[in-house]
Amino acid sequence: MNALKQAELVAEVWPGAALRSARRLTGGVSAQVYALEVAHSSGALAQVVVREHAPVESHYTAELEFLLLKALHSLDLPVPQPILFDAGCTLAANPFVIMTAIPGSSVIPTGEAFEYIDEMASQLFRIHQAPIQNLPALPSRLDPLPEVFEYLPTAAEWGGLKARLRALTDTGFKGAPCLLHGDYWAQNLLWEQGRITGVLDWEDAAIGDPLSDVVGASVELRYLFGREGMQRFIAAYSALSSVDPTRLALWQVYVAAAAQHFMSTWQLAPADEAHRRRHALASLHDAEARLGD
Question: Residue 184: pLDDT above 90?
Answer: yes
The answer to whether residues 204 and 151 belong to one domain is yes
The answer to whether residues 93 and 207 belong to one domain is no
The answer to whether residues 139 and 96 belong to one domain is no
Determine, yes or no, domain membership for 105: no
Determine, yes or no, domain membership for 154: yes
Q: Which of 13-17, 28-32, 262-266 has the lowest mean pLDDT?
A: 28-32
Instruction: Report how far residue 214's alpha carbon sits from residue 181's, in angstroms, rounded to the nearest whole number.
Output: 10
Measured over the CA atoms of residue 228, residue 158, residue 273 and residue 248, the dihedral's sign is: negative
Tell me, what CATH number does 267's domain have?
A: 3.90.1200.10
The answer to whether residues 80 and 124 belong to one domain is no
Sheet holding 178-180, edge to edge: 140-141, 206-208, 178-180
Query: Of the residues 63, 79, 100, which one is the last residue of a structural domain?
Result: 100
Query: Of the residues 46, 71, 100, which one is the last residue of a structural domain?
Result: 100
What's the number of domains the chain is made of? 2
Determine, yes or no, domain membership for 45: yes
Q: Give pLDDT tens digits for 113-172.
A: 999 999 999 999 999 999 999 999 999 999 999 899 999 999 999 999 999 999 998 899
Determine, yes or no, domain membership for 284: yes
The answer to whether residues 74 and 167 belong to one domain is no
The answer to whether residues 84 and 152 belong to one domain is no
The answer to whether residues 175 and 259 belong to one domain is yes
Determine, yes or no, domain membership for 52: yes
The answer to whether residues 92 and 131 belong to one domain is no
Question: Residue 112: pLDDT above 90?
Answer: yes
Residues 6 or more apart in contact with residue 23 via CB below 8 angstroms: 34, 35
The answer to whether residues 231 and 279 belong to one domain is yes
Query: Of the residues 100, 128, 148, which one is the last residue of a structural domain?
Result: 100
Determine, yes or no, domain membership for 213: yes
Determine, yes or no, domain membership for 54: yes
Tell me, what CATH number does 62's domain have?
A: 3.30.200.20
Instruction: Report how far residue 4's alpha carbon sits from residue 82's, in angstroms, rounded to the nearest whole number.
Output: 23
Determine, yes or no, domain membership for 39: yes
Please state, in angstroms and as integers, the Cα–Cα distance from residue 17 to each residue in 6, 39, 206, following that order: 12, 6, 37
Range of the domain at 127: 110-291
For residue 120, with 0-12 CB atoms within 10 Å meaning exposed, 13-18 middle and 19 or more buried, which class applies?
buried
The answer to whether residues 196 and 224 belong to one domain is yes
Q: What is the pTM of this model?
A: 0.93
Q: Give pLDDT tens digits for 39-76.
A: 998 989 999 999 999 877 788 999 999 999 999 999 99
Write down the pLDDT at residue 28.
Answer: 61
Instruction: Report how far residue 117's alpha carbon sits from residue 119's, in angstroms, rounded to the nearest whole number.
Output: 5
Q: Give pLDDT tens digits for 267-278.
A: 899 999 999 999
Does residue 183 contact residue 239 with C-beta atoms inside 8 Å? no
Task: Determine how many CB atoms are found less than 10 A away from the CB of residue 270.
Answer: 7
Taking alpha carbons only, the member of 112, 81, 89 closest to residue 1 is 89
Write down the pLDDT at residue 267.
Answer: 87
